[in-house]
Structure 1
């Protein structure tokens, strides 16, 4: 990481005294960038497309985010506490994206953030890191079943006509 940031290893350790502190900072920054990207999507793509584009982004980035979170959890870090502020910002963006999509008439008006979050989580890849067993909570038989093909469609990770998003 030091090489990629074009700084010396001592500089990295001066700012992040432990590997866990560095991983935590990376995870929080990734979540902050995700919230920023959600804001950008609302502005640039319009409410009819922003929510679906954001879902695509979350699905694309989730394996790396999950790897950071798993490494932190394995080290005994409370990931929820570490990422709570960034998580709050993400929730606010999700609320705004949902509201915009509902006002544009592309998402059902009775859909609320908890259900939307459940739909998103149900489509996230939950595979463990290579060579590591999956936790029972992430085992395929304990996850909601994916809608066939919904996670493979480029530009529309959540195929609206196959999920309970649209009217």
Structure 2
């Protein structure tokens, strides 16, 4: 059932109904709600699992790349993940449910990973000093919203990343 919820939320985001998840899993809606009393609880479980993956990815990128490229690599990764997996996109953009209210370790870890990559990129002069994580999240949401072919998405990533770089003096 959880695997079908992962697939349904990936395909449709928070808009998917409990009835559709139950149908995909071959169970009744009552079975779904016995395990997850609300759609929010089910979405939270799926989204937090995905966010834990994003945190591990941020750690891997930070460990293998210079701060100049690590931040931009992670930015592009988040946009691509959010566009391909609507559960990730909805979690990153705050659509649907307030995952922050869950106060989960995964959410705190994700915020810290993003803030660390941003701070390291700013320390080496790769990202403007006046940018904060809220700015980065808004840019990611904008890039995800440009739901189109891969070329358009890549162009949006490049435009956003260019805007994050310090202005020539």
- Cα distance in structure 1, aligned partners of 2:157 and 2:101: 29
- Cα distance in structure 2, aligned partners of 1:166 and 1:121: 21
Residue 163 of structure 1, CA deviation:
1.3
SS at the partner of 2:145?
A: coil
- Cα distance in structure 2, aligned partners of 1:161 and 1:117: 12
Note if contact 2:48-2:106 (Cα within 8 Å) is conserved in structure 1.
Answer: yes
TM-score, normalization by structure 1: 0.60
- 4+ residue runs of structure 1 moved beyond 6 angstroms? none
Name the count of aligned residue pairs.
136
Structure (1/2) with the larger helix percentage: 2
Note if contact 1:48-1:106 (Cα within 8 Å) is conserved in structure 2.
Answer: yes
Match of 1:30 among 23, 33, 50: 50
1:43-76 Cα offsets, whole Å, 9 max, x none, are 112211111111111111214225765xx94xxx
Note if contact 1:48-1:104 (Cα within 8 Å) is conserved in structure 2.
Answer: yes
Give structure 2 stretches of 5+ with no counterpart: 5-26
Note if contact 1:28-1:82 (Cα within 8 Å) is conserved in structure 2.
Answer: no
Aligned to 1:45: 65
Note if contact 1:42-1:97 (Cα within 8 Å) is conserved in structure 2.
Answer: yes
Give structure 1 stretches of 5+ with no counterpart: 128-148
- Cα RMSD of the aligned pairs, angstroms, is 3.8
Change (3 A) 1:126 1:84: farther
TM-score, normalization by structure 2: 0.59
